[in-house]
Amino acid sequence: MAENDDAVLTAAVGYVYVAPVGTAAPTPAQLKTINLKDPSTWTGATGWASVGHTSRGTLPEFGFEGGDTEMKGSWQKKKLREIATDDPIDFLTIVLHQFDEDALSLYYGPNASETPGVFGVKTGQVNEKAVFVVIEDEDLRLGHHAHKSSVKRDDSIELPIDDLAALPVRFTYLDHEDELPFSWINEDLFNVPDAG
């Protein structure tokens, strides 16, 4: 692998968006020019809404669980093949700072109340969304997209007196039709056509 200085980034600024399950991400070309602060202006990539303010101290975590393997062998060869014992489960965790209906809907599930001024919590609701993250470092924009994820609270609500209150949320990636579970997006970094 060659050194590529243009592929080194600092997660200086970032944005997180949600949309109905199956919503496509902006194209790699669109990612370069869209107004990240106003997804309602995105032409050809509609349906996305910002989740609002997220933690600067606890940046998004792109993690996984499982994916364990074990070595299998024969009498003749002790290390014949590595076998996956379970599939990896990929996820994204973010920490929301806004206590509004959209944020609480990601944390608890859809508002179960119709009473004005009340957010009602009902357990057992299905809460699934497409998710799109953009990391911005000067001119570099790196996108991350999943067509379908199960959204739920990841930890207790945090109410410190010396920091912003927080709602930790986890997006666990799910299979959606024939789509890839998730993808990274940047037209200058991935599947770049050979010049010439």
**pLDDT, tens digit, 9 for 90 and up, residues 116-157:** 999 999 988 999 999 999 999 999 999 999 999 999 999 999
pLDDT over 70 at 196, yes or no: no
Classify residue 75 as exposed, middle or buried by CB count within 10 Å of its CB (0-12, 13-18, 19+).
Answer: exposed
Q: How many Å apart are CA 153 and CA 195, to the nearest integer?
A: 46
Q: What is the pLDDT of residue 192?
A: 85
| Contact partners, residue 167, CB within 8 Å, separation at least 6 | 95, 96, 97, 99, 103, 104, 106, 107, 153, 157
| CA distance from start to end of the chain | 21
Two tokens, residue 169? 């949320």
List, for residues 164-192, the tens digit of each pLDDT value: 999 999 999 999 999 999 999 999 999 98
Q: Which of 61, 131, 56 is nearest to 97 (CA)?
A: 56
The domain segmentation of the chain, as residue ranges, is 12-66+88-185
pLDDT over 80 at 194, yes or no: no
List, for residues 50-91, the tens digit of each pLDDT value: 999 999 989 999 999 988 889 998 988 989 898 888 889 999
Q: Which of 137, 101, 123 is nearest to 10 (CA)?
A: 137
| 130-132-136 Cα angle (round to 5) | 175
Q: What is the pLDDT of residue 93?
A: 98
129, β-bridge pairs:
149
Q: What is the pLDDT of residue 195?
A: 66
pLDDT over 90 at 193, yes or no: no
pLDDT band at 24 (very low <50, low <70, confident <90, very high): very high
Q: Which of 93, 68, 62, 76 is nearest to 166 (CA)?
A: 93
Q: What is the pLDDT of residue 175?
A: 97
Q: What is the pTM of this model?
A: 0.91
